[in-house]
Amino acid sequence: MSKKAFIFDLDGVVVDTAKFHFVAWQRLAASLDINFTEVENEQLKGVSRVRSLEKILAWGGKTIDAATFDSKLIEKNQEYLEMVETLTQTDILPGVHEFLLRLRSSGQPIALGSASKNARPILKKLGIYDLFDAIVDGTDVTKAKPDPEVFIKACQLLDMPAQNAIVFEDSIAGVQAANNAGMISIGLGDPENLKEADAVFSSFTEMPADYQEQLLKKVKK
């Protein structure tokens, strides 16, 4: 059977931690008198922690000194991690666990490609760490999505060429990163937002029953 590299984003694809990021960023923005809505939050998906705060400050027309910047980020991450503590296996997004198990039983290489520096502890908390053959997260890369570094590194670890990779992403930046690497991009979320993806589903449960087999034959346009 042919093989592909199946690469999963974390936040918003494997688990709905995107809502925790939103709450924590909103609290941080409010503490600086900045109005922060879900529309802006959409643009932070897949974006690193530092870059996210830079964007929020720019939207609010605010500047803060370097020490405040660092302490705000520490605070944000602590609040985020408190919410992450509440996660259990039931928080894995619908259909993902089954999809991963099926890939494993058919011997397909699986990687995680996330901008998050918290990816490893989150996967352990969810009890699915061992389902991944390779993990590349925010601690392993220097360039943020839409730069393809995270997905290219994942392919290298899996020893698979980029043109044989399929990336599952919920963010615009992540879809662009996959496209920039010449990989097949599958969007999870709103088709209007993710129109640059090769295909979009609202969730893994919406995919046809034989979708893994279809993906094995799919060629990047």
Contact residues: Mg ion, CB under 5 A: 9, 11-12, 46, 170-171
Residue burial 145-172, b: 16+ Cβ < 10 Å; e: rest: bbbbbbbbbbbebbebebebbbbbbbbb
Least CB distance from residue 105 to Mg ion, whole Å?
26
Both tokens assigned to 217: 């034959």
Of 61, 90, 71, the C-alpha closest to 28 is 71
Q: Are 162 and 130 in contact (CB under 8 A)?
A: no
Active site residue 11: yes
- Calculate the alpha carbon distances from 13 to 45, 195, 216 in Å: 11, 17, 20
Pick between residue 97 and residue 216 the one whose CB is nearest to ligand B16: 97
Active site residue 91: no
Least CB distance from residue 66 to ligand B16, whole Å?
18
Question: Residues interacting with ligand B16, by CB under 6 A?
Answer: 9-12, 21, 44-49, 52, 77, 114-118, 138, 171
Pick between residue 11 and residue 133 the one whose CB is nearest to Mg ion: 11
Q: Considering CB distances under 5 to 8 angstroms, the limit depending on partner class, which of ligand B16, Mg ion, none binds residue 48? A: ligand B16
Q: Which residues are catalytic?
A: 9, 11
